[in-house]
Amino acid sequence: ELYGILEILERKVVQLEECRIILLTKQDLELAKALKNNEFKLYYQPQVDLKTGEIVGAEALIRWISPDKGNISPIEFIPIAENTGLIVPLGQWVLKTACTQAVDWKLAGLPPLQIAVNISAQQLEHEDFVADIIDILAQTGLDPKQLKLELTESVLVRNINLTLEKFKQLQELGIEIAIDDFGTGYASLSYIQNFLFDILKIDRCFIKDITQNHKNSAIVSAIIRLSRQLNFKVIAEGVETQLERDFLAHQGCDLIQGYLISPPLPFEQFCEFYSNRK
Ligand code: C2E
Ligand code: MG
Ligand code: MG
Ligand code: MG
């Protein structure tokens, strides 16, 4: 009787595994097709220096404009690309496009800006990651000081020694490293202890209701103070109101990014927005 049950279970496991393979392959193919057909686009969201009020940088955020399904959020397709490994060529496309466009807006007569690019753990772990970045910088002619990489805390738990080594290589080139969504991962403070960042990016969940929520305001002012003492620049993401901006300026936050300044914009609109502010 027991063997009968085991046999049924085994068959179910095989069926489930087959289902999983088919599902992954279908999504993988869709994404791969989208990459081949140029269905991705980068949007840019300005980052503003709180002391001068000037735009000093922009974060590149990927969008999938699918002809059959419309606009698909990176929150939906980045995890799929990470599962299937397609994040590596997709991430390379992002880096190359962002660096090319950062040079383009200099060519358009706009003052140089720092460009922030989001990087997934798998990309960083890829053995050619640093070499590919060096190639892209050489091909586009972008100054490495104008490139900033945003990594989330999940990157840091995977292979500490390898990550430390890659950070060092990138920073020696002049590239800045930002820790994204700070405070939402696990054991954040031990990362600060072990890794050398240039910038700490406070997650939007702490910025929300900062002026009313006593816990959030305490957390944010503590993160800003810690960053200053450890010599990190600090940026707040998801700033939506003037009250939030005032609070952050008063606490000594360096940079802000959020709907209060502008939502992420397509390249052409971003150039227009930037030149109008100048
Ligand atoms: P993130 O890097 O933390 O980016 C910030 C997200 O907050 C963006 O969502 C942005 O549009 C949104 N946002 C900005 N300001 C505000 C605001 O004032 N209020 C609110 N409610 N939201 C704001 P988006 O563009 O949907 O991107 C989501 C996430 O997808 C990003 O989070 C990042 O983790 C990932 N992602 C985006 N582009 C790339 C990419 O090229 N490569 C990789 N690996 N991940 C990416
Ligand atoms: Mg980011
Ligand atoms: Mg973030
Ligand atoms: Mg976030």
Q: Is the CB of 181 under 6 A from ligand 1?
A: yes
Is residue 15's pLDDT more than 80? no
pLDDT band at residue 154 using 50, 70 and 90 as cut-offs: confident
- Please report the pLDDT score of residue 23 as a whole number: 55
Query: What counts of helices (H) and strands (E) characterise the chain?
Result: 12, 10
- Please report the pLDDT score of residue 24 as a whole number: 60
Task: Give the pLDDT confidence of 209-228 residue by residue, as tens digits.
Answer: 899 999 999 999 999 999 99
CB neighbour class for 200 (10 Å; exposed up to 12, middle 13-18, buried from 19): buried
Task: Give the pLDDT confidence of 73-117 residue by residue, as tens digits.
Answer: 999 999 989 988 899 999 999 999 999 999 998 777 888 899 999
Is residue 193's pLDDT more than 90? no
- Please report the pLDDT score of residue 183 as a whole number: 86
Minimum CA distance residue for ligand 1 atom 34: 118
Q: Is the CB of 46 under 6 A from ligand 1?
A: no
Q: Is the CB of 186 under 6 A from ligand 1?
A: no
Q: Which residues surround ligand 4, an ion (CB under 5 A)?
A: 181
185-190 average pLDDT score: 74
CB neighbour class for 10 (10 Å; exposed up to 12, middle 13-18, buried from 19): exposed
Alpha helices in 120-230 (DSSP H): 121-125, 129-140, 153-156, 160-173, 188-194, 204-207, 214-229
- Please report the pLDDT score of residue 85 as a whole number: 87
User: How far does residue 117's CA lie from ligand 2's centre (Å)?
Assistant: 7
Task: Tell me what ipTM this predicted complex has.
Answer: 0.98
59-84 average pLDDT score: 93
pLDDT band at residue 6 using 50, 70 and 90 as cut-offs: confident
Q: Are 235 and 242 in contact (CB under 8 A)?
A: no
The region, left, alpha or beta by phi > 0 then psi within -120 to 50, assigned to residue 258 is left
User: How far does residue 179's CA lie from ligand 2's centre (Å)?
Assistant: 9
Residue with tokens 């890829």: 126
Q: Are 57 and 235 in contact (CB under 8 A)?
A: no
DSSP state at residue 85: T
